[in-house]
């Protein structure tokens, strides 16, 4: 008997600005300063202290890096005499926070690039971190925090999570701050969610404070400044201003999890929906035709045969009908469909069909 499991549809109606007072949102939550961003750093290093879970002797780069490291301590050793099982070659990546100054600390990610089984218990030795311009900006060092493990003994293995990637909290020290190359005659604001209506409202509220403001495009606004402008005070004053942002009507559907996320202002035009299910079930049973021994002796053409017996059943359910008035929302649609006990896939298919019919006044994003 075929069992039909009715999926659970989770419908979330969200407004990303609902946590502000009314519909007003601080500019601090809507825009960022153009130069207020993280900077990516990268480096190559070695993790030592592994319990024979590091790179194998097949990794010549690990042996070479270890030999070069030991030379700094006046230890000369032949590469062929090294056993690298307690060492792993790794790549270090980090994001330097904005406005970082010399001596500041930040986190680093450490990832194995060889055939190490686990970085658990390892320590990253002093490693330089470089920026996109190949200049040294920071140094990283310290014990790794690994959220998993991997052990193997006599062919038996046990593993939890991903043991070849670790993290060193506050493991990098900034040696050289990145210079501020921003323009001295304008302050550039970048919208987190580009929108012409929102950008125009932001420009209007800033201009009311006496500033000269220009909207470049949907995601960029320029505020003119003079040599006498106190930029920190200007930024603080701008961050405190509030506007009502405009929101794009959009529905996001995740068919794998059965989740539908819709904006609060998503409307559906007048539409009638009829939905029916056609279930087809095919059962095949194989029977064996076994002739009697006497017949087989007198007629060589008589043999044992497998005979399939197929049973075809077709069941068409009564069609469900829903009529939505003009101005209906996605909330009302899903509630009506859930009362009809439709499955997750059916509801998602209906929403897609409404979009194809031109009755859904919103962008539809399928994940």
- For the chain, count helices (H), then strands (E): 6, 24
pLDDT at 320 over 80: no
164 shares a domain with 48: yes
In a domain, 140, yes or no: yes
228 shares a domain with 349: no
78 shares a domain with 150: yes
Task: Indicate the pTM of the whole model.
Answer: 0.65
76 shares a domain with 53: yes
pLDDT at 21 over 50: no
Task: Give the whole-angstrom CA distance, residue 206 versus residue 212.
Answer: 8
210 shares a domain with 148: no
**The pairing of beta strand 267-268 with beta strand 328-329:** antiparallel
pLDDT class for 186, splitting at 50, 70, 90?
confident
* DSSP state at residue 27: G
Domain stops at, among 198, 223, 243: 243
In a domain, 6, yes or no: no
161 shares a domain with 55: yes
207 shares a domain with 268: no
pLDDT at 105 over 90: yes
Is 147:153 a contact under the CB 8 Å cutoff?
no
In a domain, 18, yes or no: no
Q: Among 54-58, 107-111, 146-150, where is mean pLDDT lowest?
A: 146-150
3-state helix, strand, coil in the chain (%, to 5): 20, 40, 40
306 shares a domain with 267: no
Domain containing residue 225: CATH number = 3.30.1360
32-84 pLDDT tens trace: 988 888 899 999 999 999 988 888 888 888 888 999 888 888 888 887 778 88
In a domain, 77, yes or no: yes
Total domain count for the chain? 4
In a domain, 15, yes or no: no
Domain stops at, among 174, 199, 214: 174
Structure tokens at 123: 């320590």
pLDDT class for 90, splitting at 50, 70, 90?
very high
Which residues have CB under 8 Å from 356's CB, separation 6+? none
168 shares a domain with 229: no
Check the CA dihedral 14-15-17-19 and report its sign.
negative
195 shares a domain with 133: no
Q: Residue 209 sits in which domain range?
A: 23-35+184-243
pLDDT at 297 over 60: no
Domain stops at, among 155, 174, 193: 174
In a domain, 5, yes or no: no
Range 327-353 average pLDDT:
75
In a domain, 135, yes or no: yes
**The pairing of beta strand 136-143 with beta strand 165-174:** antiparallel
288 shares a domain with 267: no
269 shares a domain with 215: no
In a domain, 11, yes or no: no
225-280 pLDDT tens trace: 888 888 888 889 999 999 988 877 788 888 777 777 776 667 777 766 666 654 44
């Amino acid at each position: 008997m075929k069992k039909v499991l009715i999926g659970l549809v989770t419908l979330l109606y969200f407004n990303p600005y609902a946590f502000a007072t009314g519909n007003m949102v601080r500019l601090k939550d809507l825009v960022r300063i153009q130069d207020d961003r993280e900077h990516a750093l990268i480096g190559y290093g070695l993790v030592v202290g592994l319990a024979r879970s590091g790179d194998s002797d097949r990794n010549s780069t690990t042996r070479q890096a270890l030999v070069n490291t030991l030379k700094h301590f006046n230890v000369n050793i032949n590469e062929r005499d090294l056993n690298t099982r307690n060492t792993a070659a790794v790549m270090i990546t980090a994001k330097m926070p904005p406005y970082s100054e010399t001596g500041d600390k930040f986190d680093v990610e450490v990832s194995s690039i060889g055939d190490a089984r686990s970085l658990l218990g390892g320590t990253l030795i002093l490693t330089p971190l470089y920026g996109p311009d190949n200049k040294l900006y920071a140094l990283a060092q310290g014990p790794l925090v690994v959220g998993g493990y991997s052990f193997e003994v006599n062919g038996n293995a046990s593993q939890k999570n991903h043991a070849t990637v670790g993290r060193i909290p506050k493991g990098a020290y900034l040696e050289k701050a990145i210079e501020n190359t921003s323009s001295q005659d304008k302050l550039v604001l970048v919208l987190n969610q580009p929108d012409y209506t929102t950008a125009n409202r932001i420009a209007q509220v800033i201009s009311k404070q006496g500033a000269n403001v220009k909207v470049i495009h949907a995601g960029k606004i320029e505020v003119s400044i003079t040599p006498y402008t106190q930029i920190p005070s200007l930024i603080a004053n701008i961050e405190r201003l509030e506007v009502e942002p405009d929101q794009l009507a959009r529905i996001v559907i995740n068919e794998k999890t059965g989740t539908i996320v819709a904006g609060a202002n998503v409307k559906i035009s007048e539409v009638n929906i009829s939905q029916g299910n056609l279930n087809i079930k095919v059962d095949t049973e194989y029977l064996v035709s076994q002739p009697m021994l006497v017949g087989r002796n007198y007629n060589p053409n008589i043999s044992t045969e497998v005979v399939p017996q197929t049973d075809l059943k077709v069941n068409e359910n009564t069609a469900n009908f829903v009529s939505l008035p003009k101005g209906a929302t996605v909330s009302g649609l899903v509630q009506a469909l859930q009362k009809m006990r439709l499955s997750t896939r059916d509801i998602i298919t209906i929403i897609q069909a409404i979009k194809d019919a031109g009755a859904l006044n919103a962008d539809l994003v399928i994940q």
